[in-house]
Structure 1
């Protein structure tokens, strides 16, 4: 995934530093408690404090008290991490050196605990100041050995041992620094990978949630492990977020699909939702029993395929229409020139037939081009009253009787969301059809607007004609279907397509006499 989706982490989170220091403080408390418990319980049986038992006990008690204080301070006061760590290391070196002196020097083995302190401080502090801690521990050991030599007794071998111990401190410090860098690098990588994985999971969940088809992850027993809303809707399952089992019909087929352990597609009919669904079974790896199921509404899938075919056909028809128009214009012009000579009646009649058919063909080409532009929708809020008034003026210019035959009933303020050009085309087709098939009576064609639930309006267009035969009602919206000799069969089909492109619908409603078309569209009505 592109790293732009994930913030770049420059350093580990602050909580990881304090957590490491907490573990270091707990370790210190156990060491102090061990020393104090050992001298109190076993006394002289252990070689601790053999040189100065009183000093050892006092240092052990003080060390335990200071360790408890550091632990409490770290819990209550999480600030100045480096200062707290350095203070704790200084106390460790001082306390362990004094206890080493009270126990007879380096022979007690306490110096090895200083090695642990230096290494631990280097890891906890991510390698910062670790060489300073090593130098401080070395100075403490050498001073302890020098004081032992001055006050009691010492040999050159003891100084050599102190020198070797100091070198071990620096070696441990360098190793801790390198290891700390490696730990930091791995922690940065783990944080970065974790955030990338989290971003990928969230993006995958969003993609699955927004998928048009249903997606299910199911167990071998048919338990739904994961699902998106579309899958639950198609299967009729509740949206309660709880685990459910697949319907019995799918579970029966799931057992068959699991035996083959191969990708399978099958169509099943659901009586509960009255849907025909197509299932695609994709098995997981052989180490897992879960499987992936894709669910698609077959009716919706077929409708989508049909729309794709119609869109391709529309583009092809539009390209052909452009090529037809040029020679068509030449034919029409030639027919007009021939019709100017009226001396030969038969010749004039033929020229008129040619001219009329070129006009009809040109109208067909225009409608095909209009169909090809259905996706170029620019919806806007239209003032219905002004729009219908202008449309009526155009219709009256073509058919003067429309002034009395069309009656419009509408509230004073109506606004509709539609592409103006598309709405003009839809209403022109419906009103001219109503005038063609309606009577010559006044008010033969009725146009009305009424409010519907939510943000929708209904525009009704009715006529008093003979109506549409019930046997033909299912075909009237099909392309190239017409009952008129001069019609192209595209008027109602284009009207419905333009309505759908504007998030509206055009349907034919049952009517006692004549035809009744209804447009459902978004809009507002103020009486």
Structure 2
């Protein structure tokens, strides 16, 4: 017997309560069906005894109900007392109605079976022994009163045998029930653990996961799908709210073997690759949709390529720097010797411009290998940004005021040197493309979901749609003189400081916005 037999569960007590209700209803049914017979065939004393017996059994049933409700006394004791009470009630009733010949002895069997099943096999044979002794005792009393002969013990013996047979059967069934209960409990624990594991995997998987039923309604989705789609998702929502995905699903259901096109989300400017998996044999039924972020895959592929080329570029940059310095120095000497020769001046100017361009490119390449040297410190953004904007305006010789909007309590953790480098790049790009009027370049800080966000806005033209997927890739630039490493290095520096640099799509008239979201790993920056 398991520990649940020693310490009965709620199921045991509920079974005992139902058994008590059954015995109460059975006693009342016997009382109403037999009372008329007793009243007609027995004396007044017998009828009074029958009434007293019925009332006693009803009263005991009420007392048993109170004990079951209070869980006192112990479960096994209450069950045994109820079983013995039922046996005594039926045997006394048999005695009042003529003994074994009344046929009421057969009613002992369902009581013994119910008691045995409730006790899960414990005390079952004891109850059968008590019932057998009571039956034999009743027959002896009938023999002593002269109402039965010595040859009439065959029927009581059969009843006693039936009591033990029912008790043994109840014992076996109780064993099977206990094993089934233990197996069901173990399977329930396994299913619960499996459900928790599946939910954890569903939430932590890098792809977006959506379950769509046959009627085109969302049934389940993970947080990654919500982030990739960048739109509110609600269970039971019609897939028509996501027309691009609904169209792709319709095409797939028409021909599951056809190649699935990439999804271009309008609002989020993201490219997703859907993969549809039917949850049954019919593709028209429920479908599991995987959404892969193609931008993330491109970034991961780019990271692998850069990791392989990292050491090579660093060594090449060091090797290039020495002859580049010699070229720059020679160009300066040639300029001094050029005098009034316009051709020589033009050629030396070309040498100087390209030397500085190569120097800047070498510097950017070397920065790729220094982004992991992070010294994160607490920074109060309001005074830091004010000092930084003043320095930037003086260095870049900007006379137009740059607007700074920042709460006094805004505090982040970031490497000050890295933050200086990132913002310098963003402001320089913003100033290059803006209209250079007052309020055309704005730096603002706000809180969202417990994280501080820094926005750099300018009123210049938005980034071309076909360039968005390559905006943060290394060596991608729209300028003939650019290195294409500025935004890439800025994003890598932000990632090393537990932040995220992103381009925020806006209407054309709203200009361009780059955003830094701080505290993406630890969430310490809470306003």
How does the TM-score come out when normalised to structure 2? 0.66
Q: Deviations over 1:50-104 (max 9, x none)?
A: 9x95377336523652365256436754433333222211211111111222333
Contact 1:93 1:137 in 2 (8 A): yes
Structure-2 residue corresponding to 1:227? 220
CA gap 1:458/1:39 in 2 versus in 1, 3 angstroms? closer
How far apart, CA to CA, are the structure 2 residues paired with 1:518 and 1:214? 30
2:364 is aligned to 367
Q: Pick closer, same or farther for the CA change 1:55–1:388 going to 2, 3 Å.
A: closer
Contact (CA 8 Å) 2:425, 2:486: kept in 1 or not? Answer: yes
Distance 1:435 1:234 in 2: 31
Q: Which residue of 2 aligns with 1:111?
A: 105
Q: CA deviation at 1:120?
A: 1.7
**TM-superposed deviation, 1:305:** 2.1
Output the CA distance in 2 between the equivalents of 1:267 and 1:331: 47
Q: State the SS of the aligned residue for 1:265.
A: coil
Number of aligned residue pairs: 480
Aligned with residue 312 of structure 2, among 307, 320, 327? 320
The residue number in structure 2 matching 1:26 is 21
1:54 aligns with 2:47: yes
Name the CA shift for 1:507/1:278 in 2 (closer, same or farther; >3 Å).
closer
Segments of 5+ residues of structure 2 without an aligned counterpart are: 338-350, 433-439, 519-527
Q: Secondary structure at the match of 1:152?
A: coil
Residue 309 (structure 1) aligns with: 301
Are residues 232 and 10 of structure 1, via their aligned partners in 2, closer, same or farther at CA, if it must alter by over 3 Å? same
1:37 aligns with 2:32: yes
1:264–1:280 CA contact under 8 A, matched in 2: no
Is the 8 Å Cα contact of residues 208 and 226 (structure 2) preserved in structure 1? no
Secondary structure of 1:61 counterpart: helix
* SS of alignment partner, residue 147 of structure 1: helix
Farther-moved stretch of structure 1 (114-123 vs 447-456): 447-456
Q: Provide closer, same or farther for how the CA distance between residues 326 and 206 of structure 1 changes in structure 2, counting only shifts above 3 A.
A: closer
Question: Matched residues in 2 for 1:482 and 1:97: separation?
Answer: 103
Aligned partner of 1:283 in structure 2 is 278
Q: Is the 8 A contact 1:457 1:521 kept in 2?
A: yes
Q: 1:489 to 1:242 in 2, by over 3 A?
A: closer
Structure 2 distance, partners of 1:218, 1:55, is 70
SS at match of 1:312: helix
Alignment partners' CA distance in 1, 2:267 and 2:359:
50
1:46-445, aligned counterparts within 5 Å? 54=47, 57-58=50-51, 61-62=54-55, 65-66=58-59, 68-70=61-63, 72-73=65-66, 76-80=69-73, 81-152=75-146, 154-159=148-153, 161-205=155-199, 207-208=201-202, 212-219=207-214, 222-224=215-217, 226-228=219-221, 241-242=235-236, 244=238, 246=240, 257-258=252-253, 265-267=260-262, 278-286=273-281, 290-294=285-289, 296=291, 301-321=293-313, 323-324=315-316, 367-372=364-369, 374=371, 379-383=376-380, 417=412, 418-426=414-422
Distance 1:214 1:435, change over 3 A: closer
